[in-house]
Homo-oligomer: A and B are copies of this chain.
Amino acid sequence: MTSHPPPPPRATMREVASAAGVSLKTVSRVVNGEPGVREVVRREVEAVVEELGYRHHRGASDLRRSGQRTRAIGVLVQDIANDYSARLLRSLEDATRERGFVLLAASLDEDAARERQLVTEMIARRVDGLVLMAATDRQDYLAADVRAGLPVVFVDRVPHGLDVDCVTIDNAGGTRAGVEHLLGRGHRRIAFLGDLPAIPTARERLAGWRQALVAAGATPDPALVRDGLRTVDAARDALGDLLRLPDPPTAVFAARNVLTVGCLRAVRWDAPAPAPEVVGFDDVELLDLLEPRTTVVRQDVEAVGRAAADLLERRMAAHGWPARHVVLPTELVVR
């Protein structure tokens, strides 16, 4: 393989200017659609732009422009490939597209070090705003940047040690509704499968499970709680274990989409005759077609994205107002 010589560098405004026989500033005017250029000149410049393949350089433009807006938003989610994160990303895209924003997206995988590294990266790139599904316990490391005017919105999880806007859902309430549904169907031994206890959302859902049981006069049995579950297989194994207990649960609450799928796999492949009833947090594609029917606590992901975009844009427009915490309701979808 012969390594060819590198292609010539891109044409700059200066080159377009000299080729068109006008000044740099005139090219800038044409390229930016500013007034004050005769039609003949404009045409000529446009022709040279085309001929030389000139492309506007946003980086240089942003640098010089006052205000220093990059029209880029950093979005750090748990895992881009996960349905929840992907839909959130999409709704943020839709909500910001018209104003010309571009999304810098990355996955954190619940890794605190990775969060700090990527936040630094985003700030170095001077994003106009940051949407964060935090993987860290505390986010005081961001305080100076927030004070310096960086618009930050937390999604899915509340901030700790940091006073910024956030959009969450009613995790405890949603979970209570799900567990109450099971209680109403006569279950008393209801297991709970959860994500890492370090995640506030996971803790809130566990609390909801406990609250519902206590309110119903049932005893939350610690032996029926399995947390720290990250994957479909981990959930499947955990439920399998629970079903082998001497006094196994008759129902399970799965606190996340991935865990619900794991439970259903366990029920299908590993469960003894009277399969436990499953209720999950977050709806999953095709779940409504599956037998036995699985009730879920559904959240409006698109609404979360819209609210986050809205808060972000308000922050970008005006700085200094108190942090707002938006909590969106959940909906029990009984099947």
A273 at interface, CB cutoff 8 A: no
Indicate if the CB atoms of A105 and B107 lie closer than 8 Å: no
Q: Which residue of B lies closest to A68 (CB)?
A: B9
Report the Cα distance A289→B145, complex, angstroms: 48
Q: Which residues of B contact A104 (CB under 8 A)?
A: 72, 102-105
Q: Interface residues of A, CB < 8 Å — how many?
A: 65
Copies in the complex: 2
Residues A149 and B6 in contact in the complex (CB < 8 Å), given A86-B86, A89-B105, A290-B290 = yes
Residues A318 and B80 in contact in the complex (CB < 8 Å), given A106-B93, A265-B289, A285-B284 = no
Report the Cα distance A123→B149, complex, angstroms: 28
Q: Which residues of B contact A38 (CB under 8 A)?
A: none
Q: Which residue of B lies closest to A146 (CB)?
A: B7
Q: Which residue of B lies closest to A67 (CB)?
A: B6
Q: Which of A51-59, A182-190, A216-224, A325-333 contacts B (4 or more CB under 8 A)?
A: A51-59
CB < 8 Å neighbour of A86 from B1, B81, B144: B81
Query: Which 8 A/B pairs are nearest by Cβ-Cβ distance?
Result: A4-B320, A81-B90, A7-B149, A86-B86, A53-B144, A58-B124, A286-B286, A3-B318
Residues of A within 8 A of B (CB): 1-10, 53, 55-60, 62-63, 68, 70, 72, 79-83, 85-87, 89-90, 93, 102-107, 120-121, 123-126, 144-145, 147-149, 261, 264-265, 268, 284-287, 289-291, 318-321
